[in-house]
Amino acid sequence: MTTSENQLDSNVSPTPELRFFLPQGPQLPRRNWQHRWKSGIRIGSILAAVVLVAGGVIASILGLIAASHFNASGAIEVSCITDPQESVSRPARPGAVLSILDASTGEKYGSTTLGRPTTLPSGICLQKFEVQDVRAAGMYTLTIGDTYRTLVSEDQLRRGVLL
Protein backbone atom coordinates (compact mmCIF):
# COMPACT_ATOMS: atom_id res chain seq x y z
CA MET A 1 0.00 0.00 0.00
CA THR A 2 1.10 3.45 -0.70
CA THR A 3 1.10 6.26 1.77
CA SER A 4 -1.73 8.05 0.02
CA GLU A 5 -3.96 4.96 0.38
CA ASN A 6 -3.09 4.71 4.08
CA GLN A 7 -4.03 8.30 4.58
CA LEU A 8 -7.40 7.75 2.89
CA ASP A 9 -8.12 4.74 5.08
CA SER A 10 -7.25 6.59 8.25
CA ASN A 11 -9.25 9.69 7.27
CA VAL A 12 -12.43 7.69 6.72
CA SER A 13 -14.45 7.51 9.89
CA PRO A 14 -16.42 4.35 10.61
CA THR A 15 -20.13 4.64 9.83
CA PRO A 16 -22.42 4.39 12.83
CA GLU A 17 -24.60 1.31 13.11
CA LEU A 18 -28.21 2.03 12.06
CA ARG A 19 -31.12 0.45 13.91
CA PHE A 20 -34.74 0.59 12.95
CA PHE A 21 -36.28 -0.55 16.24
CA LEU A 22 -38.32 1.50 18.61
CA PRO A 23 -37.52 1.14 22.24
CA GLN A 24 -39.77 -1.34 23.99
CA GLY A 25 -42.78 0.37 25.54
CA PRO A 26 -45.09 -0.65 28.31
CA GLN A 27 -46.97 -3.96 28.12
CA LEU A 28 -50.30 -3.70 26.24
CA PRO A 29 -53.40 -4.62 28.25
CA ARG A 30 -54.84 -8.03 27.48
CA ARG A 31 -57.95 -7.99 25.29
CA ASN A 32 -60.25 -10.05 27.42
CA TRP A 33 -63.34 -9.52 25.28
CA GLN A 34 -61.74 -11.54 22.47
CA HIS A 35 -61.14 -14.46 24.76
CA ARG A 36 -64.62 -14.29 26.26
CA TRP A 37 -66.40 -14.09 22.89
CA LYS A 38 -64.11 -16.43 20.95
CA SER A 39 -66.62 -19.30 20.56
CA GLY A 40 -69.52 -16.88 19.94
CA ILE A 41 -67.57 -15.15 17.17
CA ARG A 42 -66.75 -18.50 15.57
CA ILE A 43 -70.36 -19.72 15.74
CA GLY A 44 -71.65 -16.39 14.40
CA SER A 45 -69.16 -16.52 11.52
CA ILE A 46 -70.19 -20.07 10.64
CA LEU A 47 -73.88 -19.13 10.74
CA ALA A 48 -73.27 -16.07 8.55
CA ALA A 49 -71.35 -18.21 6.03
CA VAL A 50 -74.16 -20.81 5.96
CA VAL A 51 -76.77 -18.08 5.40
CA LEU A 52 -74.71 -16.56 2.54
CA VAL A 53 -74.20 -19.93 0.85
CA ALA A 54 -77.90 -20.82 1.23
CA GLY A 55 -78.86 -17.43 -0.24
CA GLY A 56 -76.56 -18.02 -3.21
CA VAL A 57 -78.01 -21.47 -3.84
CA ILE A 58 -81.60 -20.16 -3.62
CA ALA A 59 -80.78 -17.25 -5.96
CA SER A 60 -79.22 -19.65 -8.46
CA ILE A 61 -82.25 -21.95 -8.40
CA LEU A 62 -84.67 -19.04 -8.82
CA GLY A 63 -82.54 -17.72 -11.68
CA LEU A 64 -82.67 -21.07 -13.45
CA ILE A 65 -86.43 -21.25 -13.02
CA ALA A 66 -86.89 -17.69 -14.28
CA ALA A 67 -84.65 -18.37 -17.29
CA SER A 68 -86.76 -21.38 -18.25
CA HIS A 69 -89.84 -19.19 -18.84
CA PHE A 70 -90.21 -15.89 -20.71
CA ASN A 71 -92.79 -13.53 -22.17
CA ALA A 72 -93.17 -14.03 -25.93
CA SER A 73 -94.09 -10.98 -27.96
CA GLY A 74 -94.36 -9.84 -31.53
CA ALA A 75 -96.50 -8.25 -34.17
CA ILE A 76 -98.23 -9.37 -37.34
CA GLU A 77 -98.26 -7.07 -40.33
CA VAL A 78 -101.82 -6.96 -41.65
CA SER A 79 -103.72 -5.14 -44.35
CA CYS A 80 -105.22 -1.83 -43.27
CA ILE A 81 -108.43 -2.56 -45.22
CA THR A 82 -111.43 -2.33 -42.94
CA ASP A 83 -113.77 -4.31 -45.21
CA PRO A 84 -115.69 -6.76 -42.97
CA GLN A 85 -115.56 -9.49 -45.64
CA GLU A 86 -111.76 -9.15 -45.84
CA SER A 87 -111.41 -9.33 -42.07
CA VAL A 88 -113.37 -12.61 -41.82
CA SER A 89 -111.30 -14.44 -44.46
CA ARG A 90 -107.82 -13.56 -43.20
CA PRO A 91 -106.26 -15.57 -40.37
CA ALA A 92 -104.95 -12.59 -38.38
CA ARG A 93 -108.34 -10.97 -37.78
CA PRO A 94 -109.37 -9.45 -34.45
CA GLY A 95 -110.55 -12.22 -32.14
CA ALA A 96 -108.41 -14.93 -33.79
CA VAL A 97 -106.51 -17.20 -31.39
CA LEU A 98 -102.72 -17.15 -31.63
CA SER A 99 -101.07 -20.24 -30.07
CA ILE A 100 -97.44 -21.04 -29.34
CA LEU A 101 -96.56 -24.74 -29.59
CA ASP A 102 -93.33 -26.64 -29.11
CA ALA A 103 -92.12 -27.38 -32.66
CA SER A 104 -90.88 -30.88 -31.85
CA THR A 105 -93.61 -32.21 -29.53
CA GLY A 106 -96.62 -30.05 -30.41
CA GLU A 107 -97.21 -29.25 -26.72
CA LYS A 108 -99.11 -25.98 -26.28
CA TYR A 109 -97.13 -23.42 -24.25
CA GLY A 110 -99.54 -20.51 -24.40
CA SER A 111 -102.12 -18.61 -26.40
CA THR A 112 -103.74 -15.22 -26.70
CA THR A 113 -106.52 -13.55 -28.66
CA LEU A 114 -105.55 -10.98 -31.26
CA GLY A 115 -106.93 -7.49 -30.79
CA ARG A 116 -107.55 -4.66 -33.22
CA PRO A 117 -104.67 -3.61 -35.49
CA THR A 118 -102.68 -0.47 -34.80
CA THR A 119 -101.92 1.84 -37.72
CA LEU A 120 -98.41 3.29 -37.65
CA PRO A 121 -97.65 6.78 -39.05
CA SER A 122 -95.97 5.07 -42.02
CA GLY A 123 -99.32 3.51 -42.99
CA ILE A 124 -98.43 -0.03 -41.93
CA CYS A 125 -100.93 -1.87 -39.74
CA LEU A 126 -99.73 -4.21 -37.01
CA GLN A 127 -101.52 -6.57 -34.66
CA LYS A 128 -99.38 -6.89 -31.56
CA PHE A 129 -99.45 -9.93 -29.32
CA GLU A 130 -97.90 -11.05 -26.05
CA VAL A 131 -98.05 -14.45 -24.39
CA GLN A 132 -96.95 -14.62 -20.75
CA ASP A 133 -94.90 -17.39 -19.16
CA VAL A 134 -93.87 -19.42 -22.23
CA ARG A 135 -91.59 -22.37 -21.42
CA ALA A 136 -88.13 -22.16 -23.01
CA ALA A 137 -87.52 -24.41 -26.01
CA GLY A 138 -85.42 -24.13 -29.15
CA MET A 139 -88.09 -23.74 -31.83
CA TYR A 140 -91.80 -23.01 -31.74
CA THR A 141 -94.73 -23.38 -34.09
CA LEU A 142 -96.83 -20.23 -34.06
CA THR A 143 -100.40 -20.78 -35.21
CA ILE A 144 -103.17 -18.29 -35.91
CA GLY A 145 -106.56 -19.90 -36.15
CA ASP A 146 -106.62 -23.11 -38.17
CA THR A 147 -104.99 -21.82 -41.34
CA TYR A 148 -101.70 -20.07 -40.48
CA ARG A 149 -98.56 -21.84 -39.14
CA THR A 150 -94.94 -20.70 -39.03
CA LEU A 151 -91.74 -21.68 -37.23
CA VAL A 152 -90.07 -19.13 -34.97
CA SER A 153 -87.07 -19.38 -32.64
CA GLU A 154 -86.96 -18.64 -28.93
CA ASP A 155 -84.67 -15.67 -29.57
CA GLN A 156 -87.15 -14.16 -32.03
CA LEU A 157 -90.02 -14.48 -29.53
CA ARG A 158 -87.91 -13.00 -26.71
CA ARG A 159 -86.98 -9.95 -28.83
CA GLY A 160 -90.36 -9.57 -30.51
CA VAL A 161 -90.94 -11.34 -33.80
CA LEU A 162 -92.43 -9.58 -36.83
CA LEU A 163 -94.59 -11.83 -39.00
Do residues 36 and 56 share a domain? yes
Determine the average pLDDT of the residues in 145-159.
92
Compute the mean pLDDT over every residue in the chain, rounded to the nearest whole number: 84
**Domain with 136 in it:** 71-162
Q: Please report, for residues 28, 58, 65, 68, 138, the alpha-carbon distance to residue 158 in angstroms, rounded to integers and kept in the order given.
A: 66, 25, 16, 12, 12
Interior/surface letters 26-54, b for 16+ CB within 10 angstroms, e for the rest: eeeeeeeeeeeeeeeeeeeeeeeeeeeee
pLDDT tens-digit map of 12-32? 667 777 777 777 888 888 778
Do residues 156 and 87 share a domain? yes
pLDDT tens-digit map of 53-109? 999 999 999 888 878 889 999 999 888 776 555 554 567 888 899 999 999 999 999
Residue 110, in any domain of the structure: yes
Domain count, the chain: 2
Do residues 36 and 111 share a domain? no
CA distance 1 to 82: 119
Residue 91, in any domain of the structure: yes
